[in-house]
Structure 1
């Protein structure tokens, strides 16, 4: 639950001293690998909120319900092919549904929330809606300012441990929070949303609308491939034909 690297270092040292683990070899090795498991020191890297083990766990869940120790390699391959076909079918359905529908919400559709419903997929909109709801239950304190940047502290009501500092440049509508949720997940945290709302910003700034979470992310990816080097303009077509040819061989 640590947010900053300084907080992590302080709690780690306090834990080692409390339980007399300063010279423990296993804890020394774990500490050397902190960049791989501690969110507080790796939030500058995009992870979409996925923990290190979630990918393997989701794969095991997807194919493990039919596979066992007695499953042959051929049977496993058949199960895996059916699983991927189901994923692709679901992806096509979701892509059609998300691109043709508008999300509904129990909250009043203010400008920013309405914009999120228009550009984000339904699943991402739910995440943004949750952050937006939290932003309504926060208190804001201005800590300082200079010629172009304003510094605020945003805290959930009755939860002082949730306080984070937010920098805001009004001219460019640039916002940055110490929780680094946007850098790690790709959508704005409730601290940043609160400050944008405070300054009457009614649309999510374009720089904070991650293409991968929009309704037309897949279409834009294909268009981007088509507009690349003329020698590579047939890559999307070739990938589609390779998949069809592969299925034909099977």
Structure 2
């Protein structure tokens, strides 16, 4: 059931499982299925998650905290050390920001859309976008349907196995049932196929470029709940360390 993307098929397979193992009266299974929207793949794939799994963020942050905080710290010690954690995180952001200014990503395919992606995206996101662009070259459009309001393309995935549906609206916006953009904010190879070959777009439409994945993600100051600029305080706090990077 983990690989099922369709809600109806997910429900059908669940019913088959209950019959196969004769567990229709199992109280725990009833409760678990009752909150399927929180864990079932057909449902959670519609939610934004920056491409992370449900536990990836907490596990990563927990591992990072171990270098600063011990289980026997009292409340005062905890907040003192947690402030060090935030300072270290923000310092690493400054390092990454400086690196972006000094080194451009390597563009393997010399076309306008890739040059645009290299110019706006961070290096990590550009690499992922470039992977999707390479995949789009092997994606095939198998069928085209038009219902008057939108056009639906049946696209055969680059692996030649999975079939995807890409819907193009009258305003030329596109959505794919693989939900990569909705979950991670990067256009999938299936949408790129339609944008490039059917709509003849030479650049990524602005609505598909999330600011959080761009080099200008930190260009605006972040305010706390009292209205104070957090980013300004961080830069002042880290001025001497940042200058050492630029030396």
Could you say which TM-score interval applies, normalised by the shorter chain? 0.7 to 0.9
2:242 maps to which residue? none
User: What are structure 1's unaligned runs of at least 5 residues?
Assistant: 226-231, 245-250
* TM-score (normalizing by structure 1): 0.79
Query: In 1, distance between residues paired with 2:138 and 2:9?
Result: 25
Task: Write out per-residue CA displacement over residues 104-142 of structure 1, whole angstroms, 9 at most, x where no aligned residue.
Answer: 14x313222221111111111122122222222222112
1:133 maps to which residue? 134
5 Å-filtered alignment, 1:12-51, equals: 12-51=14-53
Residue 112 (structure 2) pairs with residue 119 (structure 1):
no
**1:217 alignment partner, SS class:** coil
* TM-score (normalizing by structure 2): 0.80
**1:203 alignment partner, SS class:** coil
1:236 maps to which residue? 229
Query: In 1, distance between residues paired with 2:188 and 2:173?
Result: 14
Query: In 2, distance between residues paired with 1:38 and 1:99?
Result: 41
CA drift at 1:77: 4.5
CA drift at 1:204: 0.6
5 Å-filtered alignment, 1:217-228, equals: 217-219=217-219, 221-222=220-221
CA drift at 1:207: 1.0
CA drift at 1:78: 4.9
1:189 maps to which residue? 188
Task: Write out per-residue CA displacement over residues 26-57 of structure 1, whole angstroms, 9 at most, x where no aligned residue.
Answer: 11111112122223113333221222222221
1:198 maps to which residue? 197
Give the number of aligned pairs.
230
Kept after mapping to 2: 8 A contact 1:173/1:205: no
User: What are structure 2's unaligned runs of at least 5 residues?
Assistant: 238-247
In structure 2, relative to structure 1, the CA distance for the partners of 1:63 and 1:156 (3 Å cut) is same
Q: Please, which moves more after superposition, 4-13 or 89-98? A: 4-13
Query: In 2, distance between residues paired with 1:35 and 1:152?
Result: 27
Q: Please, which moves more after superposition, 198-207 or 11-20? A: 11-20
RMSD: 2.8
Query: In 2, distance between residues paired with 1:53 and 1:26?
Result: 22
Kept after mapping to 2: 8 A contact 1:156/1:163: yes
Kept after mapping to 1: 8 A contact 2:46/2:179: yes
1:165 maps to which residue? 165
Query: In 2, distance between residues paired with 1:7 and 1:76?
Result: 48
Kept after mapping to 1: 8 A contact 2:135/2:158: no
Q: Please, which moves more after superposition, 196-205 or 92-101? A: 92-101
**1:47 alignment partner, SS class:** coil
